[in-house]
């Protein structure tokens, strides 16, 4: 009886490990300067970090959770952040995605200097850009839960920075028109 329950616990543990490891696959980060060159070829001079830090460009930030079923229970895991970005003239979804992937490729391994408003430099992240009815949604994910929390924290700092600078930039624009 004892042997059977220990064996079934081992089988269940092995199955959950195998299932969780296949569910947590990510896109491999560039390993060489040649691969970084591929990601960054054709990216405009303006870096992705500068692009996202434009005043008023970031409109909202949401936590990105993944639901996982464990028998009758559903467990939610924080994976990162979804950043809602206002569309800009001349910025397409593929161009934004390529610029963000270039930024991630250039920041590996994570830099020692901490930028509190750059969620792309938190470690090994996966970046996706999709179109919404009102702009773009940038999804930044990590398999490491600590990195996911840091992504959310920095994304919220980026939002606060974007919102705080937007009125000042609007006033400058009005003054330049007059």
pLDDT in tens, the chain (178 residues): 444 443 333 333 333 333 333 333 333 445 567 767 777 887 765 666 577 878 888 999 999 999 999 899 999 999 999 999 999 888 889 888 888 888 887 776 554 456 788 898 888 899 999 999 999 999 999 999 999 999 999 999 999 998 887 665 555 444 555 5
Give the number of other Cβ atoms within 10 Å of residue 169's Cβ: 12
What's the pLDDT at 32?
A: 63
pTM of the model: 0.71
Residue 9 covered by a domain:
no
The Cα 164–Cα 56 span in angstroms is 8
- Show the DSSP H helices in 42-144 as ranges: 48-52, 93-106
Per the domain annotation, does 15 fall within a domain? Answer: no
CB of 35 closer than 8 Å to CB of 105: yes
Domain count, the chain: 1
- Residue 45 CA to residue 16 CA, distance in Å, equals 46
Cis peptide before 109 (omega within 30 of 0): yes
Residue 139 located in a structural domain: yes
Considering the domain boundaries, does residue 23 fall inside one? no
- How far is residue 159's CA from residue 82's CA, in Å, rounded to a whole number? 11
**Residue 67 belongs to what domain range?**
28-177
């Amino acid at each position: 009886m004892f042997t059977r329950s220990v064996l079934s616990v081992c089988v269940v543990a092995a199955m959950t490990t195998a299932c969780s490891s296949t569910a947590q696959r990510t896109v491999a980060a560039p390993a060489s300067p040649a691969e970084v060159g591929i990601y960054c070829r054709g990216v405009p001079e303006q870096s992705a970090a500068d692009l996202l830090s434009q005043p008023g460009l970031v409109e909202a930030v949401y936590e990105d959770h993944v639901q996982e079923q464990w028998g009758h229970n559903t467990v939610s895991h924080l994976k990162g952040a979804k950043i809602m970005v206002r569309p800009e003239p001349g910025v397409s979804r593929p161009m934004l995605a390529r610029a963000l992937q270039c930024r991630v490729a250039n920041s590996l391994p994570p830099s020692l200097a901490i930028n509190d408003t750059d969620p792309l430099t938190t470690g090994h992240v996966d970046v996706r850009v999709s179109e919404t009815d009102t702009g773009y949604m940038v999804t930044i994910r990590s398999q490491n839960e600590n990195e996911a929390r840091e992504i959310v924290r920095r994304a919220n700092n980026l939002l606060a920075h974007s919102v705080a600078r937007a009125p000042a930039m609007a006033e400058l624009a009005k003054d330049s028109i007059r």
